[in-house]
Structures are given as structure tokens and as C-alpha cells.
Structure 1
Amino acid sequence: MLKNYIKIAVRNLWKKKFYSLINVLGLAVGIFCCIFIFLYVQDELSYDKFNTHSDRIYRVASDITFGGNHFELATAPAPMAYTLKDDFPEVREVTRFNNQGDYLVRYKEQVFKEDNVVFADSTIFKVLTFQFIEGDPNTALTAPHSVVITQTAAEKYFGSEDPIGKTLRFDNSSDMTVTGVVKDLPQNSHFHFPIYVSMSTFADSKNTWWLSNNYNTYLLLAEGTDAAEFEQKLNNHVLKNYVLPQALQLLNVTEEDIASSGTDIHYYLQSLTDIHLHSNLTVELGVNGSIQYVYIFSAIAIFVLLIACINFMNLSTARSAGRAREVGVRKVLGSGKSSLIGQFLFESVLLSMIAFLIAMAGVQIAMPYFNELSGKSFDPALFTNPELMIFLIASSLMIGLLAGIYPAFFLSSFQPVKVLKGSVSQGAKSKKLRSGLVVTQFAISIILIIGTVVIYQQLQFVQQKNPGYEKSQVLIVENAYGLEQNLPVFKENMKRLPQVENVTISSFLPVPSSRTDTPFYTGSQMTNENSVSMQIWNVDYDYIPTLKMEMADGRNFSRDMGTDSSAIVINQKAADLFGFENPIGEEIRTLNEFGEDEGYTAYHVIGVVEDFHFESMHQNIGALGLRLGRSSGLAAIRFDAAGASEIIQTARREWDKLAPDQPFSYTFMNSSFESMYRAEQRMGTIMTIFSALAIFVACLGLFAMAAFSAEQRTKEIGVRKVLGATVTDIVSLLSKDYILLVLIGFAIAVPIAWYTMSGWLKDFAYRIDINIWMFIGAGAVTLVIALLTVSWQSIKAALMNPVKSLRNE
């Protein structure tokens, strides 16, 4: 029987080469999209699951309302870790991270810039799963100034040398001893650090202050512990015994005052495996993904595959009359319904398997491009994984069965007497089904087009919206502290260049970085009512003019004003939160040492800068203060439009003269700004590609349907032409039904697309409005594409010689 199935299937597919090609190509594109999105989604969902106890590891996050601001932090207070271990028997182990950003790391004559150096407790290896190559995990990070490095870092610094006991010099000032080498963690982890420094090296890690949140804290719970119950217990105990007493001491108020002021602190647990897709807090250890994107990409994969399956069903049922006589003859000769169903399902599965092979070939070719586009690093060799191949083949078989099940039952249900007499008709039900499937195809296509347009417009809005400073034509020289005492010389040498407008030195630029907030207050005593939590940046005299920020009130810092050493420039948001009607001359204070009644620093406000975006536009602008102070992390150089390459070369020459043994690295401010929205840019590009593929597959089906419709109406077209119908009349006759279907699809797509994209835009504090033209434009594009697709076949049929058409009929 199988041999017979194969023979008939091959014969039938070859006989209808055009329709077979359409089906195979459509299914191949659908499977191609599904494979890539399956790999992407599987990778996103697998983050940090390689850890042995991943189901029992949690991070302590903080939700704080204070000083007019609401903070959602991925960090907790320094003493939270050892308090959890000492006070809660449910906690088996706890560890902390503190990301101090980049360092210049030297070994002998080699100097490298390391972007992600993290301080970590020695207990890190008891909470997370690391594979040690050298060293003892129990002691590797216990001593101050000890470091554990990854295998990649070891090869970079030491080559074939044994790293253990070797010394690495950090920022030309601190010597660290290598005490361990671990294998690189998998890519599907939110821990991406080449160097782990002993937390005991970091003096602040020993502080007992509960109102400062600077440490990413992870804990391992005992088996059987209910996380929700433990979270409630944690809050009740910690807030009552530690946080509240310090808050009362700091603010000099009662518990009732705190409750009535709206100040609130709450800690909650985040499952380790949820952090990558479900967390977008301040002070994350890295850039996380989004579960929204997983949902959207999964939906796209299903949509594209659904369109391909719809094509198959449409063409199979449309061609039912052509196979009706075959069914009748086979039934008369004794074939049962199950045998016929088996034959048609076999043809469907055969098409699916051919499409699968084509899709696999396409995946192998496109894999490097997809990696670059998605930011992943999938290896084409992963298809040698037997489990993955079994899954993909099984999925392909399932697709073939699902796509062919309705046509199989439909075709096998014909009555032999009727079909042999030639009285079979596809009927109104079959036509309605095909029309419904076409509507579904184009509704999906329109949804994808609208989604792509909205994402593109939002990204354009982000790029074009005035951030409150000029981000173009600014060269950022990184690791400026590597110049040490020569940094002022470098700045002055660069300022003398005719193509340089200005230069500023600061670690604080309005681009992504880890920062903390500090409470400031007015009056003589900090209270809930007079305090504002804001960021405070050390800048120089040239900071505001270099970035071309606008002053809303007052003035910038001046070298002629000696009192500016105690001055501060605040942004408009801070002025509003303090409630200043006339901010200039007002005094604000901050405590020198947390928890001490005496000892504060006072600043007098000399200016108010217009609000500018120093975080992603996902977040509202917060309170900010600028003060004069040493901060040497970055040098920002504003230059003339035509001088980019010359500025880079000159900056490199000056750097090499002043710090010949330090690496020179740079970026542009607009590039750093764009990096904040890299995930959205990737999503927009992927959406555009898959939307185009979805429309392509839909048009393949529409093209085949139009060809079939024209073929079925050949005699009618010939008669109409003989009676005087023009080419335009024939094209209009064959196209109008499809236009109506596209319009119905448009009506279905609009509310779905509006609801979906409105939800996506809510993640942005600053966003576009969804305008009606986006929907009209998407519908118009789809309609034009559909018309062009149908018109090709319609014009071809209309131009046919009517005499030949009638003779053939």
C-alpha cells in the first residue's frame, strides 16, 4: 500500500507542478520561520536554568517610594545578605554582587579594558553553578584582593601560563591575585563577567546601613520552602527590626508620620529563571530580554505557519473537482474512505517533508545572519543534536497532518455515483471556507504590518525626540582615568584644536550606566515632607556647554565664582519635587554619613537645567543634581561635523603621548544613546522580515487561487470577451471578490493590532500615539499587494484568445 501511496502522490504532485510548488514553497517559508523562532524562544526561556538549584534560587528586589520618587531596584541593602543567613533558617546560602563597571587591567606589559568587573561574595559558588578548572571554590574569594577569572579571560591574559598566583593590576593602583579559573558560563545567563573580585576587597560591603540599596543579592532557599510565605516573613522581620528603626532615626519622625507621608519600602523575591524575561529594574546586572518579545515572536511563527497551512487547505479544496473523478473511480474499485484519507494525508506529509528539507537548507544558510540580527550565537551544528532533529521532524509531520486533514476528509467524502456522472460541485460551503481562510491570511498579514509600522514609528520617535542635549558630534574617550595626572593636559590639548568646540571630563553622561540616588532635603532636619531622592553627578565647568543643555533658570558654574564649590545645578524635575517657586539661592542638604544627626553638606542652587533624558525613554525623567567635583571616567569632545576622523586620530595621538601604555578606546554619544534601544531595533527588524515573509506566503496562496479561479472560469471569460467585455472588465470581475476579502480581513485586524501594540507601547514612558493613518496605510499596502497578485493572473486570463478558450472548453 505504501508503494502505491508513493506512486500516486508523486504522479499527482508532478501533474500539478505549479500548485505543488506553491504549497511546498509556502510550507518551507513557514517552517523556516518556525525553526528560527523556536530556537530564539527556547534560548530565551532557558536562561539560568543550567544552575543545579535554579528552582530554589531567588534575587531580593526592592520597591521603594521615598522623596517624591518611586524606585524599583534589582538591589538590596548591604546587610541584607548576612541578615538573611543569620535570621532565617529557610535560607541555605546567600551571595551578593556589586558591579563597579569597567577597569583597566594589566598583566606585565599587556593592558586590557574590562567592561564588566564585578565584586562577589565568596559564597557565590555555593549558590550558583560554576565549573572550576583551577582553584578551590570554598576559598577562592575569601581573601581580600583575590579574583576568580573565566577560562576566556585566563587565555587572554596568560596564554599557556598557569594563572593561579599571578597578579593583575587594576587601574594602575590595586593588585589582585588570581585564585581560581572557571569555565565560561553559558550564553543563556544574565551573569556575564570575565573577572570576579572578592567582596571583602570592597570596604562598603561591610556597612550596616539599611536605607542604601547597592547590592544584587541572591539566596538559595531550603527545599520545600514556599517563596511567597518566605517573602512575607522577610518583610515583616526585616522592616520591623532593621529598616524602620534606621528610618525613624534618620527622619526624626514617628511611625505614623512615615505611614501618612506615603513613604513605603517593600522587598520581594524574583525567581532566578524569571529575571531575564520578567525583570527590567534599575541596577540590573545586564540587559534583560522581555517576555513580550517571546510572545510576539511565537505569535509570528504561528501566524506564518498558519498562513502556509491555509494555502495548502485552500488549494486542496479548490482543486477538489479536479480529483473528484479519481475519488469516484477508486471508490468503485473498492477503496474505502480510510484508504483515501490515508492517500491524501500521505501526499500532505510528503509535501511537508519536502518543505522541511528546503527549510533546513535555508536555515543553515541564514544562520549567521540570524545570529547577527538577534544577538544570539546559535551554531548550525546544533542540528546534529538527535533530540532536536526528532522534535523538528515530528513537528514537520504534525504540520503535514494538520494542513492535510481537512482536505483529506473533504475529498474522501465524495459520492462515486455523482462524481462519475460529472454532477459534483464544490458548493457554497467550500467557497465560504476558502474565502474565510483568505480573510484569515490577510488579517494576519495586516496585523503584522501594523505592528511593524508602530514599532518603526516608536523607534523613530525615540531617535528624533529632543533628549534635552545634543547627542550628535560628540566623541566619548573611555577610561579617561588611565591618563591619571595628565588628564587636564589631554583636555586642554584637545580644546585647542580648531575643529573642537568644547571638552568635558565626567563619569556621568546621559547614556546607560549604573547610578544610585541620594536623599536631599531642605531646612534644618530631613523629614518625609521636605526630602527628595535624586541622583548627584560630579561634573566640571564645561559639562553643560559641551552637551549644549539649556538653562531654565539661573546660570552654569563659573570659574570666576569661588562660592561655586558649594553650588549645585538641579534639573526642572528636582525643582518641582522640592516645590521651589524661585529655586535660585535656595539651600538643599544631604547627610555626610548615613544615620548621623550631625554632619551634612549644604549646597546653594545657582541654576536649573531643562530636563534631559539620562535614562531610557522607557522611564520618566527623575530628579538630578550637578555639582563641581572630580570625576574622571570619560572625556566628551564636541567637534565640528566634518572633523570626526581627524578628531579620532588626534585624540589617539594625544593619548599615546600622555599614556603610551594604556589602551585607547572611544565611542560616539549617539551610538551609546542608540544602544539603549537595541532590543527594540532588533525586534523591529525581525518583525519587518517576518511580516514580509508572511505577506509573501499569503500572496503565493492568493496567486495560486487567482490562477485556479481564472482556469475554472475560462469559458465564461471567453463568452464575455466575444460579447464585448474589455480587459478591464475581466480584471475587475476576477479581482472584486478578493478585494472584498482583504477589506474584511482589514476590519478584523485593526482592533487586534490596536490592542496588541497599545500594550507594547505602555512599556515606554514617552511614546507615540497610534494614529488612524497607520491602519489605513497597512490596509492600503495589503490591498495593493493583493491587487497586483490577482491582477497578474486576471490580465493573463483576460488577454487569452476567446476562440481558443471556447474551443478548449
Structure 2
Amino acid sequence: MIINFLKIAWRNLAKNKAYTAINVGGLALGMAVTLIIALWVEDEISHNDYFSNKNKIAQVFQSQTFNSRTSTGPAIPRPLEFALREGYLDNFKHLAMSSWTTNMYLKYNDISISSTGNFMQPEATEMLDFNIQSGEKDGLREINSIMLSEKTAHALFGNEDAIGKVVDVNGEYDMMVTAVYEDIPFNNSFNDAFFLMPWEKYITTQEWLIGSEDNWGNNSFQLFVQIADNTSMDRVTSIIKNVKKDLNEDTAEFNPQLFLLPMKDWYLRSNFENGKQVGGRIKYVWLFAIIGAFVLLLACINFMNLSTARSEKRAKEVGIKKSIGSQRNQLINQFLGESFLVAVISFVLAMLIILLFLNGFNELARKEIEFPWTNPLFWLSGLAFIVFTALLAGSYPALYLSSFNPVDVLKGTFKAGKHAGTPRKILVVLQFTVSVAFIIGTVIVMQQINHAKNRPIGYDREGLVQIPVMSQDFEGKYELMRTEFLKSNAIVEMSASSSPTTRIWSNRSGFRWDGKPEGFQEDFAWTDVTPEYAKSLNLKIVDGRDFSREFATDSNAVLINQTAVKYMGIENPVGLFLVDDDEEDPDEPLKIIGVVEDMIAQSPYEPVKQAVYEYIKDGDPNYYNLRLNPRQSAQQNLAIIERVFKTHFPKIPFEYDFVDEQYGAKFAAEERIGSLSGIFTALAILISCLGLFGLTSFVAEQRTKEIGVRKVLGASVLNVWNMLSKDFLKLVILSCFIAIPISFYIMNGWLQEYPYRVTLKWWVFALAMIGATLITMITISFQAIKAARANPIKSLRTE
């Protein structure tokens, strides 16, 4: 019986090649989109699955309130570790302090590489369950030990055994390799931790950490924990919530609230707004899951529409089978069998499409997704997917075709019915409602990205290059390097700073000034800079003056930005003093000598934060900022800069970043989402148009004789085109009127997440409506004009 069903199904498919191509092609395309989105979603939700203790690992976060506005982040003070170990250790299986992931130079013999990694306490390797390839799992016990990833070990030692070898780190200290661990997969936290070094080495070699063990206001560290087996995240959070506030009166005014953010939320739910968790990338997971479901639905609608539209051609088959005893359930099974065969063929084609485009998709989505050939769960899911698609696409046609009355069919009096086309019309409206909504959503996403991109950033990022300063070899050499670089004629200016141009690494509070409101809790973005900072960035001074080497008093001077002036509530800031209450000698206040234009250093979608730029005094900077010579090519300038750099730092790899590229990276996530949405939207429209093309073909074929008669009676090509097109155009226009309010509601809600956002314009919706109508007209016109230009004699003599 089953074989007979499949034979009939195959013959029907082979007999009607055009409809089969549209059905199979549209369904294959829909399945390919759905499958590749499913692989993307699976990759997103499986983030950090590499770590076996994922459900028990968390990072300690804290929320602090400044002037009724709560900010949340993972930066915590070092004394918190001691407090948790002394009074709350029963709630934890492991605690591990960590630095932020940092870039360092690793050198062995003549090989020198730049790599990123962390200083961590020994418990980290047990908690995170690193897969040790050689050496010891507790490889951070000794203060001069270092653990390397396989990739890093191979770069330094090739195929030699790394264990026991000594690596020079930043030219500062020699570290012995105690373990080599497996590279952490791309879709996991710590995938950029290519080396690990002991926490004790960090706190004993960094001068700025002196006294940090008692400083509750220095939020410069990370703390990772694994909770005890007999407790839960919520319970531990409730226990430790007020530890910082209870143990330190100086920070109590900011109402610090501690909590645990589970590892499963680090990637997908790490956004906070005024102290409340508001999601994160999970919104994109839901977005693409919905897109995938709708694209598959569009493809299934094509199958339903074309199957039911061709119902009269299958009517006699149904009538004969019913007259010789076939039951309705047998006919339903037959038509579902045909649907299943189409779904299987489409699934095979969908996999071929995925294999062809998976590398391009990975590059666009910044993923490393591999096709799961060896995963039995994938094939089981694939079978379930085929069955689901076959049922979704084939259930309505099967129920509709099996319901025909055999007597009417065999008498030749069968008519599809006055309202037989209504379900098809509803499905067409649904198809184009989804497609138009996708168009509007994609346009608004790209508008928002471009709106932020075109926002004035306050400085000139073109031709600006950053060189990271990561070694003691740089100590005390800023003036020398500035002189050498300027002499080379490759740059026109150079400065140094404690933070990269596109980031804020430090925030400070505890200041007072004349006119400061009572109870005001200040919070400034803080950057230490050399006097040439504003000149090298082409940062405009809007009030007062810039730093000058000619004024010795500028060593206690600061610049502030325009937002800081408003934030501090002062009208004439130049000449005002900032007094640091945390300093031992408050008699040396910081004098405001100038105001600079607001400069975007954080998210371009957020308001600019109040910022202070202090004349750098102690310690060395973290970045050199070089303004390239515009009269020479960037390639020529960089070649000269590298030559000068290697003259003074022959053992250090020459690394640099273009600031415009670093700034552009801030849009990367939204641009990837926008690009993927655009592609999926185009495919959704293509699938909808395939269905519309098939329906138009069928209607033209069904009305061949009518068209012939009309032509003989004098109807023009335009008359015939109008007759075949108007019904479909009405449906598409109706779809637009449904899609527009839905899109407005959804996209307006999405835009509310961005303080700096585009305003929804009427022309976006009008353009989507016009575009959908034009696409429909083009799709319909091919078949309509072809039918209208056909010779009427041929269609009429077949009578």
C-alpha cells in the first residue's frame, strides 16, 4: 500500500514538472532557512556547554545607585573575596579571583607572540574543568607558573614538549609552563584565554594593587564562584546581597547590592537596566527562531495553495477511488504520503543549500558552526522536522481533496464551490503580511544602525592609530618614542592615554566642588592623558584651553567634557577645582582648565557619559595614539612606524589598531543581525513570490479559453493583464494594511531599548507597501502578459 502511494505520488510530481519545481524549490528554500537558523539558535543557546559545571558556576555582579540611577556590572572590590571566604564559604565549592582578560607578549628563544589571557586563582582550573592535555591541572599553584592553551604552546614551541620550559612574559618575569590545556571552543566564555597565570603573581607585581586588599571602593576585579551542591543561585544571592554594604560604611551610600549571575546567563541575558535584568542576546535568539518558523510557514503555504488550486485536476482520481471503495482516511494517507515525499526531497535539497552556503553564513554571522553529520540527535530531529513539515503543508490539501463527493465528480457536475478560493486568499494575505513586516523591520534596523553611525563622535577617527603598551620595555620611553615617530614624518602628532580611545576603563567618584548639590553622588568616566591628547584626536576645545607643557601647574589640571558641565550643574567651569576626598592630601585639588566637545567612548547608542581627562602623572600609559601623516598613504606610514618601533623594541611584536575599525566594531552585533535579517527577508519574499507565480500560472491556465474569447472580442493585453492581476494585487495591498500597524508596534517597542534612536517615519511604511506591490506586479506580469499575448485560435480550437 505504501509503495503504491509513493508510486502515485512520484508520477504526479513527474507529470506536473513546473508545479513540482515551485513546490519543491520553495519548500527546500524554506527548510534550508529554518535549518540554518536552527543551527544558529542551537549554537547560541549551547554557549558555555563546554564547561561541565555550567549550572553551578556564576560570576559575582554588583549594582550601585548614583542619584537614583542604578548601574550594574561584574567589577567588584578585592576585599569581597576575603569576606566571602571568611563568613560565607559554606555556600561555595570554589571561589576564584581573576583579572580582566589582558594582552601580553610571550617570548621563548627567538619566538615572540602577542596573546590574551588572565591571572586567576588556582581554584579556577578545577571550577572551569579545563581539559588538560599535558602537565598538571592545578598548574597555578606556584607563583612563577603559567598554563598555555594548545594553540599558544604550538606557536611558541612547535611540536616540542612545552612542560618545564620557561617563557618570558612582557619582558618582566620568567614563567615555567606547568600545563597545556585544550583550546576552549569558540562559542564559550574564556575562549580568548590563551594563557593563565597565578593571581599571586598579579597582586605582587602590579604597583597599583598595593593596598587593594582593604579598598572597598576599588572595583577593578572579577570573582567567579561555583556554588555548593546543596544550594541554589537565588539562595546564595539572598545571603550575600548586602555583604559589601554591611562591611564598608564608605560605600554604603551607593547601596551596593551583590548577586550571582549564572554562567548560563553570561552570554544571552547579561543586559541590565536600572538594576533589573532585561535580557540581552536572547532577544535575537527569539527573533530568528520566529523568523525561521515564519519562513517555513510561507513555504508550506505555497504547497497548500498550489495543491488546493489544482484540486479540480485531482477530482476525478478522488471520485474513482471513492467509487471503488476507498475510505476517506486512505485518501488522506495518500495525499499526506505525497506531502511526505515532497518534504523528503526538499529536505535533501535544503541540506545541499546549507552545505553550499554554510561557510559564507559563518563569516557573516561570526560563527564557527559545523554541519552535525555525526550527531544522531540531528538526524532524529531532521526526521521529526520532515514529518512536521509534511503534516503542516499537507494536512489541509489532504482534508480538502479527500472531501470531494464522488457522484458529482463522476457526473461532471463538480464545482470547487463559491468560497473554495477563500482559504487560498487568506493564506496569500498571511504570506505577504509576514513578508511586508520583514521588509519594514529590516529597513528600521538598518536605519537605527546608520543613525548611530552618523552620530557626531566628537573627534576625528580617520587616520588615527593605537599601539598597545603592554611591557616594561615601554617604561619611561614615551617622550623618546614621540620624538622618534615625529622625526620619521610618518605622524603629525602623538599622545598617550590610560584607556583606548573607544573604551572607558576607569570610573571615579568621591569629588567635591563649589556649588555641588547636597547629597549629589557623582560618577565620572576617568582617563589619564598626556598634554597632546586633544591635538592627536582633533578633539575640539569649546571653553578654556588645552593642556600645555609650558605650564608646570598643569600637572594638577584636568579637562572635562560638555556633558560633565551639565552633570555638575555649573555654568562657568573653567577655573573651578575638583577636590578628591579620597586623596591623603586634599590640598592639591585638580583645576579645570578647559572643556572639550563630547566624545563617544562607550556605546554609540547611549548618551555620552560625563568625563574627566587628567594630566598623566604617575605610572605609564596603556596606549599610544598616533595621528598619521595625511600626505602619505597609511601603508607607507605604518611601514615607517614599524621600522622605528622595531629599532627600540626589537623583541616585541608590532601591533596596532585603526581607531575607525575599533569604533566600527561597536556596530558589529547589530550589523550582523541587520544583514542576516535582510537576507532572510529577501528569501521570505522570494518564497512568497514563487507561490504567487505558481498561482498566477494556474489561474492563467484555468482561464485559457476565457482569455481566448475575450481576445477575439477585442480585449487588449492590458485588459487581460488587469483581469488576471487585480485580485492578487488587492490581496497584497490588504496584507500591507495589516502588516504596517503590526510592524509599527513591534519596531517602536524595539527602538525604546535605545536612548539614542531613530524616529519612525511614515515613508518607511509607504516604501515597503510600494515595494511589495511592485514585486507582486512583476511576479504576476510574466504569466499574465504571456497568457494575454497567446494566440486565441489555439486556445479555442481545443474545445
TM-score range, shorter chain: over 0.9
Of the three residues 699, 716, 737, the one matched with 2:727 is 737
Task: Say which SS state the counterpart of residue 119 (structure 1) adopts.
Answer: strand
Say which of 753, 757, 770 aligns to 2:747: 757
Q: Which of residues 436, 440, 451 in structure 2 aligns to 1:446?
A: 436
Q: 2:770 & 2:501 partners in 1: Cα distance?
A: 41
Q: Match of 2:484? A: 493
Aligned amino acid, residue 612 of structure 2? G
* 2:267 partner SS: helix
Shift of 1:694: 0.7
- Distance in 1, matches of 2:242 and 2:484, equals 58
- Which of 598, 617, 629 is matched with 1:639 structurally? 629
Cα distance in structure 2, aligned partners of 1:761 and 1:715: 53
Q: 2:147 maps to which residue?
A: 148
Picking from 332, 336, 340, the partner of 2:331 is 340
The offset of 1:237, in angstroms, is: 4.3
Distance 1:335 1:607 in 2: 92
Amino acid in the other structure paired with 1:112:
I
Larger mean CA deviation between 422-431 and 765-774 belongs to 422-431
Q: Deviations 1:237-287 (Å, cap 9, x if unpaired)?
A: 4422x13x2336xxxxxxxxx4xxxx43222221111110111479xxxxx
For residues 744 and 750 of structure 2, what CA distance do their matches in structure 1 show?
10
- Taking the aligned partners of 1:782 and 1:9, their CA distance within structure 2 comes to 35
**Superposed counterparts of 1:775-794, under 5 Å:** 775-794=765-784
**Please, which moves more after superposition, 80-89 or 347-356?**
80-89
Residues in 1 aligned to 2:114 and 2:682: alpha-carbon distance in whole angstroms:
41
Shift of residue 526 of structure 1? 10
> Cα distance, 1:392 vs. partner?
1.3
CA separation of 1:96/1:430 partners in 2, compared to 1, >3 Å: closer, same or farther? farther
Q: CA RMSD in A?
A: 2.3
**Alignment map for 1:90-489 (pairs within 5 Å):** 90-99=91-100, 101-114=102-115, 116-138=116-138, 140-192=139-191, 193-203=193-203, 204=209, 207-240=213-246, 242-243=247-248, 245-247=249-251, 258=253, 263-280=254-271, 290-380=281-371, 382-479=372-469, 483-484=474-475, 486-489=477-480
Partners of 2:220 and 2:518 lie apart in 1 by 22
Distance 1:647 1:342 in 2: 73
Whichever residue aligns with residue 606 of structure 1, its letter is I
Aligned partner of 1:682 in structure 2 is: 672
| 1:226/1:386 CA distance change after superposition, 3 Å | closer
- Matching residue's letter, 1:361: L
Tell me which of 702, 705, 711 is aligned to 2:692: 702
CA distance in 2, matches of 1:730, 1:606: 79
Alpha-carbon distance in 2 for matches of 1:428, 1:275: 57
Q: Distance in 2 between matches of 1:237 and 1:104?
A: 38
Equivalent of 1:627, from 601, 614, 617?
614
Contact 2:490–2:640 (Cα < 8 Å) also in 1? no
Secondary structure at the counterpart of residue 102 of structure 2:
coil
Contact 2:245 2:255 survives alignment (8 Å): no
How far 1:67 sits from its partner (Å)? 6.4
Residue segments in structure 1 that go unaligned for 5+ positions in a row: 249-257, 283-287
CA pair 527-161 structure 1, distance change in 2 beyond 3 A: farther
The correspondence of residues 649-660 of structure 1 with structure 2, limited to 5 A, is 649-660=639-650
Alpha-carbon separation, structure 1, partners of 2:435 and 2:282: 22
Superposition deviation, residue 222 in structure 1:
2.2
Change (3 A) 1:755 1:145: farther
Structure 2: give runs of 5+ residues left out of the alignment: 204-208, 274-278
1:609 maps to: 596
Letter in 1 for 2:225: L
Give secondary structure in 1 for the equivalent of 2:421: helix
Moved more, 51-60 or 737-746: 51-60
Does structure 1 retain, via aligned residues, the 8 Å contact 2:512–2:581? no
Q: CA deviation at 1:164?
A: 2.4
Distance 1:30 1:635, change over 3 A: same
Asked whether the 8 Å contact 2:237–2:259 carries over to 1, the reply is yes
Residue 381 of structure 2 aligns to a residue whose secondary structure is: helix
Q: Report the more deviating stretch, 313-322 or 571-580.
A: 571-580
Letter in 2 for 1:708: F
Residues 491, 480 of structure 1: alpha-carbon distance in 2 compared, 3 angstrom cutoff: farther
1:251 match? none
Question: What TM-score do the two structures reach when normalised by structure 1?
Answer: 0.92
The amino acid of 2:94's aligned partner reads E
Cα–Cα, structure 1 residues 664 and 212, in superposed 2: closer, same or farther, change >3 Å?
same
Q: Kindly indicate whether the alpha-carbon contact (under 8 Å) linking 1:520 and 1:534 is maintained by their aligned counterparts in 2.
A: no
Q: CA deviation at 1:111?
A: 1.2
Give the CA deviation at 1:301.
0.8
Amino acid at match of 2:109: K
2:529 alignment counterpart? 539
- Aligned residue for 2:97, secondary structure, equals strand
**AA in 2 matched with 1:609:** V
Number of aligned residue pairs: 782
SS at match of 2:231: coil
On the 8 A contact 2:242/2:256 being kept in 1, the answer is: no
Match of 2:546 in 1: 556
- Name the structure 1 match of 2:276: none
Measure how far apart 1:337 and its partner are. 0.9
Q: Is the 8 A contact 1:592 1:600 kept in 2?
A: no
- CA, structure 1 residues 222+659, in 2 after alignment: closer, same or farther (shift >3 Å)? closer
- Displacement, 1:671? 0.6
Is the 2:242–2:257 Cα contact (8 Å) retained in structure 1? no
**1:289 Cα deviation from its structure 2 partner:** 6.7
Is the contact between residue 506 and residue 527 of structure 2 (CA under 8 Å) also seen in structure 1? no
Identity %, equivalent residues: 33
Q: Which residue of 1 aligns with 2:206?
A: none
CA distance in 2: counterparts of 1:441 and 1:423, whole angstroms: 33
Instruction: Tell me if the contact between 1:77 and 1:211 (Cα under 8 Å) persists in the aligned partners.
Output: yes
| CA deviation after TM superposition for structure 1 residue 528, in Å | 6.8
Q: SS of the residue aligned with 2:167?
A: strand
Cα distance, 1:177 vs. partner? Answer: 2.5
Offset of residue 517 of structure 1: 0.9
- Secondary structure of the residue aligned to 1:427 is coil
User: Partner amino acid for 1:358?
Assistant: L
1:693-730 deviations in whole A, cap 9, x for unaligned?
11111100000001111111112212222222111111
What is the SS of the residue equivalent to 1:637?
A: strand
Matching of residues 568-583 of structure 1 within 5 Å: 568-583=558-573
Q: Which moved more, 1:444-453 or 1:97-106?
A: 97-106
8 Å CA contact 2:499–2:622 kept in 1: the answer is: no
Paired residues of 1:505 and 1:634 also in contact (CA < 8 A):
yes
| More moved, 330-339 vs 154-163 | 154-163
Matching residue's letter, 1:369: G
Aligned to 2:63: 63
Q: 1:470 to 1:52 in 2, by over 3 A?
A: same
Q: Secondary structure at the match of 1:536?
A: strand
**Matched residue, 1:14:** 14
Pairwise CA distance, 1:385: 2.1
Query: Could you report, residue by residue, the CA deviation over 1:479-528 in whole angstroms, capped at 9, with x for unpaired residues?
Result: 47555555433322333455743222224233146x12111412599997
**Is the deviation greater in 485-494 or in 128-137?**
485-494
Supply the AA of the counterpart residue of 1:171.
N
CA distance in 1, matches of 2:698, 2:778: 16
Does the CA contact (< 8 Å) of 1:142 and 1:200 recur in 2?
no
How far 1:657 moved relative to its partner? 2.3
